[in-house]
Amino acid sequence: MRWGVFGVVVVLVVATGCSGFAGSPSQSAGTAVDSQPAVNVPESTVTVTVTAVVDGDTIQVAYENGTGDTVRLVGVDTPEVHTENDPAEFEGVPETDDGASCLRGAGTNASSLAKQRLLGETVGLAFDPNLNRRGYYDRLLAYVVNDETLFNYRLVETGHARVYDSEFERAELFYAAEDAARSDRRGLWRCTDPGEVIRTAIADGGTESASGVEIAEIHADAAGNDNENLNDEYVTLTNTGDATLDLSGWTVSDAVGHQYMFTNLTLDSNGLVTLYTGSGTDTETERYWGRNGAVWNNDGDTVIVKNASGATVFRQSY
């Protein structure tokens, strides 16, 4: 059985969306992840509504007739949030309290991502021809398709899940995505060195803190013409620290000075906020830049994040 590695990358990176592709498997830690060029999205055979997220790889759904079911996502395994994790199950993660604690945080982040992307949404379910429809615990084994994206694969390519070894049809593609995420130390792949902390400044005057904002997901290459599909260009940030962060007054800008400022926003521990390039109604988990054109150049750019006092806390070129 082949096992993956989880970790956490605390460097904030925001990726491209104007032309071409942003990021490649050979890029460094924190590299943006583009929209699934390597995996074909299966055709959905059942439409359901997601009624609950058990954890990052298990959801509860309701069928159109009102009955319910539990779905275990095919091909992925996220760390546990309701029971203890065994670091030995994750290649390279030390079998220590720090390793187990890092995995617990990784599992919480994966669950948070699933809640934001799937909870309350109508999604499609597709089934793998190489697997039974139900697993050992009588859970439905399925691919989850949302907004023409294969969520199972997204968990792997963004580093929120390792590949769960089985005979599923897309295993080779999933393993390639896992290898790229691990090589880049993308998303949650820092648990191989859970003691490493990249210290960042917070918005209370620039003091240093082990709390940090991490990239949870980047969707850089919008479907079709990027300039005509601005809300398909977005970045999701998560707070990997234990304390709530006040992001009011924090800014995100590119190399030529296009700048967005967060207002009236606090980010709880393991909370998520998605910044869309286009327009919409701001909420606690979704913010809209309000631009009339794409921001992030696909052939390279620099992301600069400053705190409320104007100090640069992240600067990353890609």
- Enumerate the CATH 2.60.40.1260 domain ranges in the chain, comma separated: 213-317
User: According to the model, what pLDDT value does residue 195 have?
Assistant: 58
Coil/strand/helix, residue 226: helix
Task: DSSP for 175-196, please give it.
Answer: HHHHHHHHHHT-TTTTTTSTT-
User: According to the model, what pLDDT value does residue 136 have?
Assistant: 86
Domain 213-317: CATH class, spelled out: mainly beta
The dihedral built from the CA positions of residue 297, 255, 231 and 290, taken in this order, carries a sign that is negative
Q: Per residue in 79-106, is it b (16+ CB within 10 Å) or e — as a string?
A: bbbeeebebebbebbbeeeebbebbbbb
User: According to the model, what pLDDT value does residue 35 have?
Assistant: 46
User: According to the model, what pLDDT value does residue 89 have?
Assistant: 82
Q: Nearest 5°: phi and psi at 184?
A: -80, -10
pTM for this model (two decimals): 0.62
Q: Which residues are part of the catalytic machinery? A: 72, 80, 139
- Enumerate the CATH 2.40.50.90 domain ranges in the chain, comma separated: 46-201
Q: What is the mean pLDDT of each run of 10 residues along the chain (318 residues)?
A: 37 36 30 52 94 96 96 94 84 82 83 89 97 94 93 90 93 92 73 56 33 68 84 81 86 81 90 90 94 78 75 66
Domain 46-201, classified CATH 2.40.50.90, yes or no: yes
Coil/strand/helix, residue 107: helix
User: According to the model, what pLDDT value does residue 158 have?
Assistant: 83
